[in-house]
Amino acid sequence: MIKVHEILSSFFGIGFIKKGGGTVAAIATALIWMVAVAVPDTWMVIGSVLVVIVYGIWAGNEVEKKWGKDSSKVVIDEVAGMLVALLFIPVSFVNVLLALGLFRFFDILKPLLIRRLEQMPGGWGVMGDDVLAGIYSNIILHLFLLLHLW
């Protein structure tokens, strides 16, 4: 079972990229999102995001035993964060690109309690900071859309 967790938590090996694995995982997620949400089913989308988050917490706990605390090989947290950033945002190239930029900004700099969530134990810490970065990104994107800033 640990092998399955390694494959999925590294997002099919993306986490093994030495530098920028998190960014590559976020970009891959954004591209998949643009295709997958072309035929939106709100409950399926919400359910999928929740499954990724819950699984990421579980897998984060499991692979930590082998890879150590918050290993860079684990990128399912970036996948979850990008999914949250894109949730309920109209799919367009510009919106997805802005979501990616905002998410990576919050994920890298870790302002506004994001760093504190990262310090939580096990899978909660692995996933918490990225989910919150996704929430912040989503809120800002919704504000941009509400205010017609583009």
Exposure b/e, 45-77, CB count within 10 A at least 16 = b: beeebeebbebbbbbbebbbeebeebbbbbbbb
36-66 pLDDT per residue, tens: 776 667 888 899 899 999 999 999 999 998 9
Domain region containing 83: 2-146
pLDDT digits (tens, 9 = 90+) for 103-147: 999 999 999 899 999 899 999 999 999 999 999 999 999 999 999
For the four alpha carbons of 62, 23, 145 and 41, in that order, the dihedral sign comes to negative
Q: How many domains does the chain have?
A: 1
